[in-house]
Structure 1
């Protein structure tokens, strides 16, 4: 059970909003995910390293980067392209790990008006009045999420630690199709050629990595 001691302040919310560009339900879910990470494993700093694995590329990840301090460049943030609103946080110091998955009911049901405006947004048929009302509803729903008990938003498990790799200085080679440089551990071997991932995909042939690089 996650303790209900508040750690997210309005200042932190505004930091996430400034980075992301607006307040929305997705960002609010990321802020609450960051709240769990800060409470359970701490913030990623030079002295205390925390790793995050995110299974989506939605708005929530921006809040996690800003508030937890995990980044791709430092090798403390890994994107797993699973299309799930699920996040795993691990302390590299002691291996403590928590995985959280958003509940289908998180944030409550979207109103019919909100759904209609979502559809208009997708179809690019919004009027200026529609846009104003849409963002009013987005902000209102985000504020509901920010005030919900965490157990209403996420399910919690404690899996074994699975840490993203530590970034180093990769060795590079030249793709034999496009001529661009590619990290060796990302290159593919196709026939007798070393190719970058896009060129390997264009070849229409089965490919395998020239060098296995686990997490």
Structure 2
């Protein structure tokens, strides 16, 4: 995990928490799995939650409700449907990590240092941009 990115994301979000860690780690997974180049590829996200992880998406990819490249459709899952408009690639990323500790700090470290293939499930996008 890039510590500078993490520190900047904390400033953007306002505090350090496991939710922000999930969002930042999801971005790392999305970049890796979709070969996305931040600040070059145009990303649209349909998030299935409206909690702290969304700030990771906002910070890393520059998505925002006001920019019309971030949309919210509640499903009860910590999931993000990502579309790369430059090449029509898409991916659904769902957080499946487990909190095996009573400490927020330890849980945050577990997420930030975890393997993306153990923390997330990857599948076809659930929604359409139409």
Per the normalisation by structure 1, the TM-score is 0.55
Distance 1:59 1:38, change over 3 A: same
Distance 1:28 1:107, change over 3 A: farther
Structure possessing the higher radius of gyration over alpha carbons: 1
Distance 1:88 1:99, change over 3 A: same
Q: What residue number does 2:52 align with?
A: 59
The runs of at least 4 aligned residues of structure 1 exceeding 6 Å deviation read none
Check the 8 A contact 1:97/1:161 in 2, yes or no. no
Alignment of 1:42 onto 2:8: no
Alignment of 1:153 onto 2:119: yes
How far, CA to CA, are the matches of 1:57 and 1:65 in structure 2?
A: 12
Residue segments in structure 2 that go unaligned for 5+ positions in a row: none
Q: Deviations over 1:167-204 (max 9, x none)?
A: xxxxxxxxxxxxxxxxxxxxxxxxxxxxxxxxxxxxxx
How far, CA to CA, are the matches of 2:89 and 2:126 in structure 1?
A: 8
Alignment of 1:23 onto 2:19: no
Per the normalisation by structure 2, the TM-score is 0.87
Distance 1:160 1:140, change over 3 A: closer
1:21 deviates by 1.5
Higher relative contact order (CA closer than 8 Å, sequence separation 6+): 2
Total equivalences in the alignment: 129
Residue segments in structure 1 that go unaligned for 5+ positions in a row: 1-7, 115-136, 164-214
Q: What residue number does 2:104 align with?
A: 138
Please give the secondary structure, in 1, of the residue aligned with 2:41: coil
Please give the secondary structure, in 2, of the residue aligned with 1:62: helix
Check the 8 A contact 2:20/2:53 in 1, yes or no. yes
Question: What is the CA RMSD across the aligned residues, in angstroms?
Answer: 2.0
Check the 8 A contact 1:25/1:145 in 2, yes or no. yes
How far, CA to CA, are the matches of 1:15 and 1:107 in structure 2?
A: 25
Check the 8 A contact 2:6/2:24 in 1, yes or no. yes
Check the 8 A contact 1:28/1:146 in 2, yes or no. yes
From 78, 100, 106, the counterpart of 1:109? 100
